[in-house]
Amino acid sequence: MATYVALVSISVGKPVIGGLAILGDFSIGGTIKKMDSLADRLQVALDSGAKAVLIPSSATSELGTVPGNLIADFSLKFYNTIENAVMKALGVQQ
C-alpha cells in the first residue's frame, strides 16, 4: 500500500502527510488483504517516529490486542479501499 500511495503522490505532485506510517497491503484485484500482528507493526511505527498511522478497517478487530498506551501515541486513520487510503494519505480526505 505504501508503494502505491508513493506512486500516486509522485503522479499528482502532492506530498504524503508528514509522520504517516502506512500499514496494509492489497491484492492484484484491489482487495485489501488481512493484516496480522497489529501491535508489533504499531510498535515499529512508534520506534520509527510516526505520529499518524493509516490502517485497513479490517484490522479494527485486532485493536483489542494492542496496549492502550501504544494506541494513544498515534492519530489512527482507517481506510477500506485503496482509493480511500490514497485520499487520506495525501490529506485530501479526513
0.85 cut: is pTM over it? yes
3-state SS track over the chain: CHHHHHHHHHHHCCCCCCCEEECCCECCCCCECCCCCHHHHHHHHHHCCCCEEEEEHHHHHHHHHCCHHHHHCCEEEEECCHHHHHHHHCCCCC
pLDDT digit string, tens, across residues 23-81: 999 999 989 998 889 999 999 999 999 999 999 999 999 999 999 999 999 999 999 99
Confidence of residue 22 (pLDDT cuts 50, 70, 90): very high
Ordered by where they begin, the domains of the chain are: 2-89 (3.30.230.10)
50 C-beta neighbours (distance < 10 Å), count? 20
